[in-house]
């Protein structure tokens, strides 16, 4: 049986999202308090084109590995182009700045998008060493990213994993809060139709009307595009007024009673809404029944 985190040929999935945060320890504490299991801090590296040795990309991460999809929380590690780009985004606000979509062949998709006139950065082969219960191994993936500044919401990319087992280890996918899957990324936009059209071109999908906004449904997961006033009502505050931005995550979970009892929790339909901890930036969790 195919792993749910391995994209089938022709499929597009919501692989993971990324919060840019100033402090990995504070982010870990906030996530643990909410009932998530968090991976160790890891610095991302790429091969140096001249020496072949690994060099820092400029960011590192801790992750929440869900049985389906994952959540990444990135911190600064080095003064590189990506590191400076990260710091510029963090200077505007901490919070959601990254959306990554899974595909079976990111290199082929990169070529397709380039041929269509989409501004793309060069392909990048990322890797990081991870501990497993059987020793050290390498989590490796190829990433095709849109050119900087192309998407006002932040960094948007598609990727292909080359070692699913290294990423989704069973010891990291159990969460005390019952979290099971990354269901959707929520976008606040002054013009939801314009934002949905941009993502639709990148992903090869078309958004449909949904709950006062638009939903772009993927082979696993979705992107919800909401008018800014509707998104502000859900979050409780405007995250980036006048600018399209990522503002929330829909998470399928089984532990809704415990989440419902938390301070600040609100019910929105069948979902339990909880604001991000300040350590994670501006935004909202929407925990939904599995």
Q: pLDDT tens-digit profile of 92-103?
A: 999 999 999 999
Burial level of 43, CB count in 10 A (0-12/13-18/19+)? middle
Give the model's pLDDT for residue 14.
98
Claim to verify: residue 215 and residue 111 sit in the same structural domain: no
166-189, pLDDT tens digit by residue?
999 999 999 999 999 999 999 999
112 occurs within a structural domain: yes
Claim to verify: residue 141 and residue 249 sit in the same structural domain: no
Q: What is the mean pLDDT of residues 3-11?
A: 93
Claim to verify: residue 66 and residue 199 sit in the same structural domain: no
Q: In whole angstroms, what is the distance from residue 87 CA to residue 79 CA?
A: 9
Domain encompassing residue 153: 13-173
Give the pLDDT band of residue 159 (cuts 50, 70, 90): very high
**Domain boundary, last residue among 120, 154, 173:** 173
Claim to verify: residue 158 and residue 184 sit in the same structural domain: no
103 occurs within a structural domain: yes
Give the model's pLDDT for residue 279.
98
Claim to verify: residue 161 and residue 107 sit in the same structural domain: yes
96 occurs within a structural domain: yes
Q: Are the CB atoms for 4 and 167 separated by under 8 Å?
A: no
Claim to verify: residue 19 and residue 96 sit in the same structural domain: yes
Q: In whole angstroms, what is the distance from residue 73 CA to residue 19 CA?
A: 5
Give the pLDDT band of residue 198 (cuts 50, 70, 90): very high
Claim to verify: residue 208 and residue 262 sit in the same structural domain: yes
143 occurs within a structural domain: yes
CATH code at position 196: 3.10.180.10
């Amino acid at each position: 049986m195919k792993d749910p985190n391995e994209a089938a040929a022709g499929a597009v999935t919501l692989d993971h999202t990324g919060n840019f945060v100033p402090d990995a320890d504070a982010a870990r504490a906030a996530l643990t308090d909410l009932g998530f299991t968090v991976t160790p801090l890891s610095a991302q590296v790429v091969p140096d084109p001249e020496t072949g040795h690994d060099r820092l990309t400029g960011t590192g991460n801790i992750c929440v590995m869900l049985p389906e999809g994952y959540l990444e929380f990135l911190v600064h590690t080095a003064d590189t182009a990506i590191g400076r780009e990260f710091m510029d985004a963090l200077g505007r606000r901490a919070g959601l700045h990254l959306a990554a979509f899974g595909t079976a062949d990111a290199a082929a998709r990169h070529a397709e998008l380039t041929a269509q006139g989409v501004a793309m950065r060069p392909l990048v082969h990322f890797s990081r060493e991870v501990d497993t219960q059987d020793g050290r191994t390498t989590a490796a993936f190829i990433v095709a990213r849109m050119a900087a500044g192309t998407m006002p919401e932040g960094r948007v990319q598609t990727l292909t994993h080359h070692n699913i087992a290294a990423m989704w280890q069973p010891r990291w996918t159990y969460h005390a809060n019952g979290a099971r899957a990354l269901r959707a990324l929520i976008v606040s936009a002054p013009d939801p139709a314009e934002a949905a059209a941009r993502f639709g071109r990148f992903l090869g999908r078309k958004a449909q009307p949904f709950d006062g906004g638009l939903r772009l449904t993927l082979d696993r997961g979705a992107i919800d595009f909401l008018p800014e006033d509707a998104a502000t009502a859900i979050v409780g505050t405007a995250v980036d007024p006048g600018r399209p931005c990522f503002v929330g995550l829909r998470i399928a979970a089984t532990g809704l009673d415990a989440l419902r009892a938390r301070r600040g929790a609100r019910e929105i339909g069948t979902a339990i809404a909880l604001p991000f901890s300040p350590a994670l930036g501006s935004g909202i969790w929407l925990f939904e029944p599995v």
